[in-house]
């Protein structure tokens, strides 16, 4: 799965809002997370439209979470700015139909979506701010192989198949 800059920026901005006890201006958010301001402003509009942030005008204005940090998941934020977590050519996996040798591919895409949900729906903004991930997510991230990048082909693929060292 590829996490877009937009989704990454949105989650980072939301974490910053969750950590704050006051309303923050977009400029403060952009500076704190090194996010281009114009891009962040567009993201904040989408987050507001999704009901995840509130904005206030005036000299004391800015942005704050619309919901408690403990009730907003990383999945909620990503969906607000990107749409569904997993689609194939903009189609939900359960709506796909394959034939021939690929006929059993649909359950793979459904399982992938389920796997994404099991992580992204488990982690809240409060978890991020607290610096304590839920147990199952922390255990996945603690696995040494989770930190190893893999590329198509080459030694990494052979190693995954048990053919190399």
What are the pLDDT digits (tens) for 30-81? 999 999 999 999 999 999 999 999 999 888 889 999 999 999 999 999 999 9
- How open is the CA angle 123-124-126, to the nearest 5 degrees? 130
- pTM for the model: 0.86
The phi and psi torsions of 52 (rounded to 5 degrees) equal -95, -25
Q: Where are the domains of the chain?
A: 5-132
CA distance linking residue 72 with residue 68, whole number of Å: 7
* DSSP annotation of 65: E
Least confident of 19-28, 47-56, 122-131, 147-156: 147-156
CA distance linking residue 48 with residue 42, whole number of Å: 10
Q: Residues 133, 127: contact at Cβ < 8 Å?
A: yes
Query: What average pLDDT does the chain have?
Result: 91
Question: What kind of architecture, by CATH, is found in domain 5-132?
Answer: Orthogonal Bundle (1.10)
Please, where are the H alpha helices in the chain?
Answer: 5-19, 26-33, 37-49, 74-82, 105-120, 125-130, 135-142, 154-160
Would the pLDDT of 21 be above 60?
Answer: yes
Share of the chain above pLDDT 70, in %: 92
């Amino acid at each position: 799965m590829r996490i877009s800059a937009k989704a990454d920026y949105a989650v980072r901005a939301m974490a910053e809002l969750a950590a704050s006890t006051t309303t923050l201006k977009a400029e403060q958010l952009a500076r704190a997370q090194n996010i281009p301001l114009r891009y962040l402003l567009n993201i904040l509009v989408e987050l507001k439209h999704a009901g995840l942030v509130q904005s206030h005008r005036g000299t004391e204005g800015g942005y704050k979470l619309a919901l408690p940090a403990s009730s907003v998941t990383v999945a909620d934020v990503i969906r607000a700015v990107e749409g569904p977590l997993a689609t194939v050519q903009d189609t939900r996996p359960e709506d796909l139909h394959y034939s021939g040798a690929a006929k059993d591919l649909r359950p793979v895409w459904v399982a992938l979506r389920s796997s994404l949900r099991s992580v992204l729906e488990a982690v809240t903004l409060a978890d991020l701010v607290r610096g304590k991930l839920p147990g199952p997510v922390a255990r996945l991230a603690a696995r040494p192989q989770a930190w190893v990048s893999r590329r198509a082909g080459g030694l990494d693929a052979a190693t995954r198949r048990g053919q190399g060292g």
